[in-house]
Structures are given as C-alpha cells and as structure tokens.
Amino acid sequence: MEQPGRDDLISWKESQPANFFTAVPQLRSLLELRMGKPLTALLEEKLTNFGRDVAQIIEPAVHTQERNREFPKLRSFDEVGRHVEQVEFHPAHEEAARAAWASGMLGTALNFEGAFEVAGLFFLLSHVGEGGQACPIVCTIGLRRAVEHRASPMIKERYLKGLTETDSSKALRGSQFLTEVQGGSDVGANVTRATLDPEVPGAWRISGEKWFCSVADADLFAVTARPDSAGPGTKGLACFVVPRSLDGATPNGFRLRRLKDKLGTRILASAEIDFNDVLAWPIGELDEGFHVAVEELLNTSRWLNAVGSAGIMSRAYLEASSFALHRTAFGVSIASYRAIREQLARMKIETSAALASTFALTELVGRIDEGTATESDAGVHRFLVNANKYVTSIAASDVVHQGIEVLGGNGTIEEFSPLPRLYRDAVVFESWEGTHNVLCAQVRRDCVRLKLLDVMNQWIEKELSLVSTKYSREVEQILHSLSALQPGLLESLIDSSRSDPNFRRLLTDLMHVVQATCLLREADNSPSDASKKATASAFILLHLENGGFGAEPRWALFVDDILVEALS
C-alpha cells in the first residue's frame, strides 16, 4: 500500500542536521562580531567537531535514555549493607559525558577567548536540551571559577586539575547546593550550620538538609552554610567545598534521601541530601560566602542558562522548520501556509534575539575574565546576567511550544522528536538559577542602588551609534523614539511607588530594546545577509511598536477584585 505520509516523515528524519555548528551559521557570525575578529582555525575546528559530536553521539545517547525512561537510580547501600550513596546511570549517560568533556569546555582559560569558546560549545551542547550533561558542566565551571578566584592554595592544588580535566573518566564534577526546604529564592533563610573542626586545621563540619541538589553524583559539592558565630540573612552565609568522599569510597557524612522525580531534566540526578558533620573547607573568607555563591556560581549558571535556552530554541526551530518542509496537508506542503510561515518566523526571531543578547553578555563575561572590564562593563554585566536569564528562559518555553504546534499531534509524542523533552527542560530552565520574579526584584534593587538604568541607557546608546544600516520608515521611527529614552524617564519608571509587576513589565520592555539593539548590531555586521536585517526589523515592530514603555495593561486594574475571595 502506498504510504506517502510515512515516506515524508522518513525524508524529514533523513534531513536532520549531522552537525549543529554548520546548521546554525548565526553562531559563527555572533562569535566574530562580539570577539571582534574571525574565528581562529583552532576554535573553528573545536566547534565543528563538537557540533558533529552533539548531533551524532550525544543526541542519540540522550534519546536512548529518555525513550526508555532510563533515569538515574539511587543506590544507597552496597551488597553487604554499607552506605554508598551512589547514583547509577545508563551506559549511554557516560557515552554522552565522554563526548561533552572531550569538547574541551571545562579546560578553557578564564579569559576573553575562553568565555566565547565555552559559550559556543555550550550552545551546541544545548541542542539536546539539558541532556544530563549541561547542569554538571555548568556547576563544574562555576566551582572551578570559585576555586580559581577565591580558594586557598591547598584547595586549588587539590582540586583545580580535576575540575579542568577534559577526560570525563578522570574529571571531578562539581555541584552547587544552596536551596533548602524553607525556600530557594530566600537563600538568607538557610539554616544549615557549619562548626569549626577541632582536629583538622582549617576544616569545618557541616550539618543540615539541602532540598534541591542537582548533580547528586558530583565529586565536589559547593555548599552554603551558616558558621556558628555568624548572624542571620545572606550576610551570615559562608560557602564551602565538600568532597563526596575522603577516602575515595566512603561517603563524607551525607545521605541521599531520594532522587526527585522531575518534569524536566530527567536524566540529571537531583536529590534531597542530609549532611551530618561532613568535612568541608571554606571557599574565600567566611563572611564572603554569599558573594562567592552569587558572583562565581550563580552568575556563571545564569549566563550559561541563557546560552542553553538559546540552544534549546535553535533546536526547536531546526526541527519545526525542517518538518514544515516535509509535511503535506490538503495536498500542499504545510510550509506554504502563511500561518505556519508566520509561526516559524516568530520562532526564528526570538531565537536570534536570545542568541544576540546572550553573546553581548558573553563579551562582558570575557572582559571581566581578562581583567579589562570598565566600571560600566561591570554594571551592564550585572544587569544583563539576571535580566537576560529571565527573558531568554521564558522565550525558550514559548518557542518550543510553538514548535510542538508546528508538528501537530506528532509534536506531543515523546519518541517522534526531541520537542517534548526540550519543552520540559525549558520549563526547568525558567525556575532554577533564580525564578522570574526574584531576578526582576534583584535587577530592580540594582537599578535603584547602582543606577544601572543610566548605565544601560549609555550602553544602548553606544551600541546604536555603531549601527549605520538604514531601515524602513516605521522601524526608523521606533529607533528614533528609543534614542530619545532619557535616563530621567527610566528612573521615574522605577519610582518606589510603582509595583513589582510594573517593574517586571518595564524590564521586559527594556530587554526588548536591548535585544533589538543586539540584532541591529548583528545585521549591520553582515550587510549582505538580508535575513538579519529582516529579523531585526520584525523584532522591533513585534515588540516595540506602540511603545507604552513599561505601561500597565488595562486588565491588571482588575487583579485585586478578581482575587478578593481567594486571598482575603
């Protein structure tokens, strides 16, 4: 029997990219724009090889685990009843880890080029979603930064080599445990305690419970805890490194209660852990623990969360756009329907915008790492690392959702495409490393305390001054109104009489301006690529037409009346 529909699906599957680096030319153009020079032959080779390995080794390994529900399993005891607190994975997990670590992502120098190399490789990796590897890599990079920048010579000597190893079988994996059951956003409410060890010089003993512990299989845990004599709140928190084991086998005083059964990131082991007098060493000064956690760990993971969100979006777009070309409905390719084309274009626009703003952020990470960042660079970084995580993670869920719709009913089927798993992972990317409201509140505080809106305004102005391409009258009009955004106007918008939701709306609008600016820079840098100019124009018309900067929508006037029964 003739089955043309199946043949179409087969040819769609056969058209899938064999290399995500060559499939996404925007990565090269953004790297070159933001690095200010062409890719070196070495970086090009690394990206080409890893783009291939992600498509041909890591994707099939992740698919095998997800398809067969081969999730991590807790093994608390060994054969003779001793506590081992191990996590067991399907062999495909190790296969994926070998390829991910071999990319060299963990071994890059902390400098300008290094930041771009990490971002480029991590973007490619994220085409499989979290994949059981992204979180361990992010946590290991974060812990390595903390150790390299802040730890004692003894800790550096002991752990840096393992944290920068590119052979996964010899590597030390890092993790970061801040969240406790009483709250993840409110880290200052942490009650896990640290007591000076009377016998081991410089060491501490940690006791308490951590509620969300991803990479529960890690070799080294970064743990926040409150030293006995410390006060309340975030100021009283210290940050410690805790080795999984002191003798290479016996757990260092902790017990894995259970692995969490999660919506997304399902092949990543996330546990609840009890710590009972575990031996630990401080990273940095005791009273700097919260700064260590934010500046080294969370800033790394918020930056890379955005890179990962862009990778997820890029994959969703690749899947949906190729599907549309191969699927027929009512006798014609669905790619010929205007509604589908518009949907795909929206996906492409948001993906490009997320990539563009995230690589602008990467430029700042690179300058900070090489020690050439100005005060204003540091301010823009501080704003973007939080605001960009917020907007890109929301966009990722939206874009994958749109992709699922393009695939129709097939889009909801686990085995058919990676989209269901990307969607689940994207939802997790939205909440870990800082929820939306909490990031917005942080940016608001920074804007008030550090005058970051002025800093952002100057940055936008400087970036726009580098754009010489001419746009349509409508777009030029909007651009003109943006360049007239005076610092005073923005300051009035964050006046303390305005509510948090209004600031969240203002921040969303402001990030649209940032992303528009980044897209304009990108289009300017590739004058022969008409699609870049079209993408920038469309993004601006989509998000910035009819301004109403930070305006409260009419429906929000009814919020209290609607909730009066539920919340009174």
Ligand X SMILES: Cc1cc2nc3c(=O)[nH]c(=O)nc-3n(C[C@H](O)[C@H](O)[C@H](O)COP(=O)(O)OP(=O)(O)OC[C@H]3O[C@@H](n4cnc5c(N)ncnc54)[C@H](O)[C@@H]3O)c2cc1C
Cβ-based neighbour number of residue 32 at 10 Å: 15
Q: Which stretch binds ligand X (CB under 6 A): 436-444, 446-454, 469-477, 554-562?
A: 436-444
Helix-strand-coil split of the chain, %, nearest 5: 60, 10, 25
Task: Give which of 208, 106, 114, 115 is closest to 147, Cα–Cα.
Answer: 106
Instruction: At 376, list the tokens.
Output: 């204003």
Contact 178, 187 (CB under 8 A): yes
Is 177 a residue that touches ligand X (CB under 6 A)? Answer: yes
CB-wise, 437 or 469, nearer to ligand X?
Answer: 437
- Give the contact letters, 306-345, x = binds to ligand X (CB under 6 A), - = no: ----------------------------------------
CB-wise, 273 or 310, nearer to ligand X?
Answer: 273
End-to-end CA distance of the chain: give it in Å, rounded.
65
Is 435 a residue that touches ligand X (CB under 6 A)? Answer: yes
Instruction: Find the shortest distance in angstroms from Cβ 321 to ligand X.
Output: 29
State whether residue 471 is helix, strand or coil: coil
Contact 316, 239 (CB under 8 A): no
Instruction: Find the shortest distance in angstroms from Cβ 177 to ligand X.
Output: 5
Instruction: Please identify which residue in 166, 410, 437, 502 interacts with ligand X, judged by CB under 6 A.
Output: 437
Instruction: At 18, list the tokens.
Output: 């064999």
Strand-pair category, 270-282 with 238-243: antiparallel
Q: What are phi and psi of 183, to 5 degrees?
A: 155, 140
CB-wise, 103 or 265, nearer to ligand X?
Answer: 265
- Give the contact letters, 203-222, x = binds to ligand X (CB under 6 A), - = no: ---------xxx--------
CB-wise, 332 or 567, nearer to ligand X?
Answer: 567
Instruction: Please identify which residue in 84, 87, 378, 438 interacts with ligand X, judged by CB under 6 A.
Output: 438
* Contacts for 548 with CB less than 8 Å, ≥ 6 apart: none
Instruction: Find the shortest distance in angstroms from Cβ 211 to ligand X.
Output: 7
Is 275 a residue that touches ligand X (CB under 6 A)? Answer: no
Count the residues of the shown chain that bind ligand X, applying the rule CB under 6 A.
23
Instruction: Find the shortest distance in angstroms from Cβ 273 to ligand X.
Output: 10
Instruction: Please identify which residue in 56, 64, 111, 185 interacts with ligand X, judged by CB under 6 A.
Output: 185
Is 242 a residue that touches ligand X (CB under 6 A)? Answer: no
Instruction: Please identify which residue in 432, 459, 503, 539 interacts with ligand X, judged by CB under 6 A.
Output: 432
Instruction: At 554, list the tokens.
Output: 């009419």
CA 280 to chain centroid: 28
Strand-pair category, 254-259 with 238-243: unpaired
Task: Give which of 141, 133, 89 is closest to 117, Cα–Cα.
Answer: 141
Is 21 a residue that touches ligand X (CB under 6 A)? Answer: no
CA angle at residue 140 from 137 to 145, to 5 degrees? Answer: 125
Instruction: Find the shortest distance in angstroms from Cβ 505 to ligand X.
Output: 14
Residues 22-51 interacting with ligand X (rule: CB under 6 A): none
Is 176 a residue that touches ligand X (CB under 6 A)? Answer: yes
Is 397 a residue that touches ligand X (CB under 6 A)? Answer: no
**Which run of H or of E encompasses 449?**
helix 436-450
CA 136 to chain centroid: 12
Instruction: Please identify which residue in 30, 178, 365, 407 interacts with ligand X, judged by CB under 6 A.
Output: 178
Residues 489-508 interacting with ligand X (rule: CB under 6 A): 500
Instruction: Please identify which residue in 166, 431, 469, 525 interacts with ligand X, judged by CB under 6 A.
Output: 431
Residue 567 exposed, middle or buried by CB count within 10 Å (0-12, 13-18, 19+): exposed
Instruction: Find the shortest distance in angstroms from Cβ 312 to ligand X.
Output: 15
Q: Which residues bind ligand X (CB under 6 A)?
A: 176-179, 183-186, 212-214, 262, 265, 270, 428, 431-432, 435-438, 441, 500
